[in-house]
Amino acid sequence: MKKDMNTMDFCKKAVLAVLFAVVLGGVAWSQGVYWVAFRDKAECGFDPYGYFDAKAIDRYKACGADLWDSSNWPLTAGYVEAVADVAEEVIGESRWLNAVGVAASEAAIEEIRALPFVKEVRKIGGDMETASRKTEETEVASGQNSVVSNQLLRMKGDLFSENGIDGSGVRIAVLDGGFPKVDRHPAFYHLHRNKRIVETYNFCNKKTNVYGWNSHGTMTLSCITGIYEGQQLGLATGAEFLLYRTEVESEPFKEEIWWAQAMERADKMGADIISSSLGYGKERYYPTQMDGTSYVAKAATMAARKGILVCNSAGNEADDRRWKTIITPADADSVLCVAGIEPSLTNYAHVDFSSYGPTADGRRKPNVCAFGYADVANPSGGLTNVAGTSFSCPLVAGFAACVLQLSRGIGMELSAMDLFQVIEESGDLYPYYDYAFGYGVPQASYFIGGSDTVEPPYGLYEVDTLMLIIAKRHIDKGTLFYKIHNLANGTIEEYSTVALKDVDSSDIILYFDKRTLVGRAVCASLFGYYRDYTLTDEEFENYARHAYISDKAEYATALGDGQHKVTLHNDASTLKTRQWGTNSKNQGDIYFLLGDAIHTRSDELGLLAWSPALRGGARLVHSFGKTYSLGIGIELGGTFFNFHTYEPNPYDPKDESSNTAKPFATSTLDKKCLRLGEFSMEFFQRVRLLPGGLVGKGLHWDLSIYGSVTFANYRQYWSDGDGKNAITAIYRHGFQIPNGCWNWGLQTRLTYDFIGVYARYCMTGVLSKEAAPALPYKTTLPRLEVGIQLLF
C-alpha cells in the first residue's frame, strides 16, 4: 500500500511539474512585443554611397528621391541603448519608422514610455498571415500545359514572351516564410545558372540561409519567375531576386518588425519591386483599422516614396462575414493591392475567398486582379495547383517587372507610382472599377500592339422613367459588370455582374428606374466597352423634388432566364467593429472543469489518489486589442475530498474517530468524504498567444484572482458485511459548515480553442483554521487543484 502511495505521489508531482512548466511558458509568452518610436534622430555623417547598392542609387536618382533623407539615417544609438537597458530583448531596428522593436513586460514598457525621447509605443498583437488558401494541393501532371499557360495568357503575357520581355534588368525582392528547395528545384535552374539570386537573408534567425521552412515562398517565387519543363509559371524569368524570410510560426509577434526590416534592406539592395504575399488581417486588427495607418503600411508607403513598387495580396477574408475588407499593408494607398479571380479564360468571376474593398476609410482597393488559383513549383518535386491571393500577387509582380523593363527599353524611367498607375490603366475593365475586381486583370496588349477596337456590344436607352441596357449584337457568352456610384461621396453603393449567354441583339440585359438614381451614376462594362449614365439636370430636379428615392430601392433588375445577377456588395459604412462574438470587443464563455486535489504541503491532510473537483461557470470578456482582455466570471462547483478509511481525520465524529462504531454489527466502513461546495466570483486577465482553432479562440492564457463562499459536509459511507443493502450514514456529530465561509485564491488556465488545462490555488487554505474559525482543528485540506477545461 505504501509503495502504491509513493508511486501515486510521484505521478502527481510529475503532473504538477509539467503543469507549472506550461503556466510559466504562458507567462513567458505573455511578454509583449512593441514598436517604440522615437521623436527625432541625431545628426550623423551618413554616406549614402557607402550604404546603398549601386542599383539603389540609380533608382533614387531616377525617381527624384533624396539619398540623404533622414529616414535613411541610423537610429540614435543612445536612444536604442536606453531602451535596451529596460526591455527584455531588442528584436530589430527600423530607420524608416525611426523605431525599435522590443519584447518587454508591461512594467518595462511603462518605464520606456516615460523616456523623454520616446514618441509612441504601439503593441504588436498578432501574427503575419500568408495569403494562401488552406485547400488541398492538387498535383499537376508533367507536360500538362493548359493551366500553366492560362495564368499568364489571362494577362496576355505571351506578348511579353514573344517580344523578349522577361523582366531583365529589374530587381525584385520577395518577402515570405521560407524558400525550401529553391536552390535545387528545376523551376529555378535558370536563376542559379545566370546568378540572378543576388542576396538571401533570414531575418528570423539572422543568417543568410533561406532555403527551408515554409514552402509558401517557393510557390510564390515560381509565380514570378518559374520555368518548368519549358513552360513559364511567371513572366519575370530574366529578373534578379532578393529572397528574404520574415515569417516564422513560433514567433508570431515579431514578424511585423522583420517585415519592415526586410523592406528597408530591399531598398538598400536596389530592389525595384517588392512582392509580399503576407499581411495582417482579422487575427491582428479590427476591420475599422484597415485604413493604411499600421506600421507595416507606413513602411510600404515609405518604400513607394523611394521608388519601389510594392505588390501585396488583398487577403482571403471574403468568406468571413465578420471581416468585410482587405488586409494590411495592402490597405496603404501606395501599395498595389491584388485580388483573385477564377482560373478561366472565358468565365470572368470573382473567386469566393478573395477579400473585398474598400479600405476602412473608403479608399479604392483592390487595384487589380489575377488568377486566384495557380500552378506553382512544389518543393517536394514537380508542380502543384494551389489557391489564394498569395499567388495572384506574384503573377502581377512579374507582369510589373516586364512593364518596367519595357519602359526602360524606350528610355522612359517610371517612378513607383507611375508604374502603379499604368498597371491600373492596363486592367481589362478600366476605367470601370469595383471593390471585387479593381480595374480588372492587367493586359500586356496595353503596352505591346495596342488595344483592339471594341464594337459596342450594348447601348444605354431611356424609355419614360426607365434606363435600359440593351444588347446591340449577338453575345454568345460574356460578363457584364455594373455598379451604382454615389456622386456626392464617390463611394460604390452596389456592384454586380450579370453572366450573359446566348443574348440576341435588342435583348434587354438590365433596366433601372431613373427615379432611384438621383445623386447616383450607373457605370457598366462589357468586353472592355465602358459607358456611364447620370440623370439630366431637369430629371434630377424633377425626381429630387418629388422624393422618389427609397433607401431600399432596387436599382437594377435582370431579365431573361439566361441572365444571373450576382451581388458583390460591400459598403464601407458596414465596416464596424463587432461588439459581441469571437474575435470581437466582447465575448462570453461557458466552461466546465474537471480536476483533482493535489497534496503539496506537510500541514495538508492526506487524501486518496482521486479527489475529484467538478465546476462550471460563465465569463464575460472585454478585449483591449486582439491580444489582451479583462473579464469577470461566476462559478458553481465542488470538490469531493476522499480520505483513507483506515486513518482517523479531524472531520470524523468525535465519539467515533476510532472507526469502531458501526450502524450495524456487520457494517464495514467503505468511504470517508468531505463534500465541499463553492460559489465563486473571479476577475481575470487574458493574453492571446496564438490565433486559430475551430471556434477561433486560439491559444490563450488566463490569470485570475477569485473569492468564494464555501459550504462543507462530511460523510461516512458504510455497508453491511456481505456487500448488500448499502447504507449511507451522515452522523450528526460530523463536521459541517452550513452557513459558509470565505476563501480566496489564484487561478490560471492555458486553453487552445475549446480545450485546456487549469490550476487553482487557495491562498487562505481550504477549511483551515483561518478560513473557518469554527473549525476546532488546526489543519487544512490540499490547497492546489489541477485539471482540464472545456470552453464554449
* Residue 669 DSSP SS3: strand
Report pLDDT for 665. Answer: 58
pLDDT in tens, 177-229: 999 999 999 999 999 999 999 999 999 999 999 999 999 999 999 999 999 99
Find, among 546, 543, 484, the residue nearest to 510 by Cα. 484
- Write down the pTM of the prediction: 0.79
Report pLDDT for 498. Answer: 86
Q: Taking residues 599-619, what's their average pLDDT?
A: 87
pLDDT in tens, 85-106: 999 999 999 999 999 999 998 8
Cell numbers at 554, concatenated: 432596387
The overall average pLDDT reported for the chain is: 83
Angle 295-305/255-268 helices, nearest 10 degrees? Answer: 10
Cell numbers at 118, concatenated: 520616446
Report pLDDT for 452. Answer: 64
- Residue with the bigger pLDDT between 444 and 557: it is 444
Alpha-carbon distance of 601 to 568, in angstroms, equals: 65
Q: Is the confidence at residue 551, as pLDDT, over 50?
A: no
- How far is C-alpha 224 from the geometric centre of its chain's CA atoms? 24
- Residue with the bigger pLDDT between 337 and 710: it is 337
Question: Which residues, other chains included, contact 772 with Cβ-Cβ below 8 Å and sequence gap of 6+?
Answer: 710, 712, 737, 741
Alpha-carbon distance of 77 to 70, in angstroms, equals: 15
- 3-state helix/strand/coil string of 45-69: CCCHHHHCCHHHHHHHHHHCCCCCC
Q: Taking residues 526-553, what's their average pLDDT?
A: 73
Q: Are strands 309-313 and 273-276 parallel, antiparallel or unpaired?
A: parallel
Report pLDDT for 237. Answer: 95
- By the 8 A CB rule, do 390 and 354 touch? no
Alpha-carbon distance of 183 to 187, in angstroms, equals: 10
Find, among 697, 703, 632, the residue nearest to 30 by Cα. 703
User: Which strands sit side by side in the sheet containing 335-341, from one edge to the other?
Assistant: 197-202, 240-245, 171-176, 273-276, 309-313, 335-341, 368-371
* pLDDT band, very low/low/confident/very high, at 125 (cuts 50, 70, 90): low
Alpha-carbon distance of 131 to 196, in angstroms, equals: 26
Q: Taking residues 243-247, what's their average pLDDT?
A: 96
Find, among 351, 363, 334, the residue nearest to 154 by Cα. 351
Range name among 85-89, 418-422, 719-723 with the lowest pLDDT average = 719-723
- By the 8 A CB rule, do 343 and 356 touch? no
Report pLDDT for 358. Answer: 92
Report pLDDT for 210. Answer: 97
Q: Taking residues 345-373, what's their average pLDDT?
A: 93
- Residue with the bigger pLDDT between 763 and 662: it is 763
- By the 8 A CB rule, do 394 and 234 touch? yes
Report pLDDT for 617. Answer: 95
- Residue with the bigger pLDDT between 734 and 584: it is 584
Angle 106-113/77-86 helices, nearest 10 degrees? Answer: 150
Radius of gyration, CA atoms only, the chain: 34
- By the 8 A CB rule, do 354 and 314 touch? yes
Find, among 678, 672, 659, the residue nearest to 611 by Cα. 672
* Residue 75 DSSP SS3: coil
Alpha-carbon distance of 607 to 604, in angstroms, equals: 9
Report pLDDT for 772. Answer: 53
Give the highest mean pLDDT range of 13-22, 275-284, 484-493, 524-533.
524-533
pLDDT in tens, 644-653: 888 877 777 6
* Residue 93 DSSP SS3: strand
Range name among 391-395, 501-505, 578-582 with the lowest pLDDT average = 578-582
Q: Is the confidence at residue 5, as pLDDT, over 60?
A: no
Residue located via cell numbers 479590427: 286
Q: Is the confidence at residue 543, as pLDDT, over 60?
A: yes
Find, among 408, 414, 446, the residue nearest to 427 by Cα. 446
Report pLDDT for 550. Answer: 38
Q: Taking residues 449-466, what's their average pLDDT?
A: 82
Report pLDDT for 743. Answer: 85
Report pLDDT for 738. Answer: 56
Report pLDDT for 538. Answer: 83
Q: Taking residues 282-306, what's their average pLDDT?
A: 90
Alpha-carbon distance of 184 to 236, in angstroms, equals: 19
- How far is C-alpha 37 from the geometric centre of its chain's CA atoms? 24
The percent of residues in the chain predicted with pLDDT above 70, rounded, is: 80
Q: Which residues pair with 33 in a beta bridge?
A: 103, 124
pLDDT in tens, 564-602: 344 444 544 455 555 566 556 788 899 999 999 988 887
Q: Which residues pair with 228 in a beta bridge?
A: 231
* pLDDT band, very low/low/confident/very high, at 426 (cuts 50, 70, 90): very high
- Residue with the bigger pLDDT between 517 and 335: it is 335
Range name among 348-357, 688-697, 747-756 with the lowest pLDDT average = 688-697
CA angle 288, 294, 299 (to 5 degrees): 150
Q: Is the confidence at residue 141, as pLDDT, over 60?
A: no
- 3-state helix/strand/coil string of 752-792: ECCEEEEEEEECCCCCCCCCCCCCCCCCECCCEEEEEEEEC
Going by the DSSP 8-state scheme, the letter that residue 76 receives in this structure is P
Alpha-carbon distance of 562 to 500, in angstroms, equals: 6
Q: Per DSSP, which regions of 585-659 are E strands?
A: 586-598, 612-623, 628-643
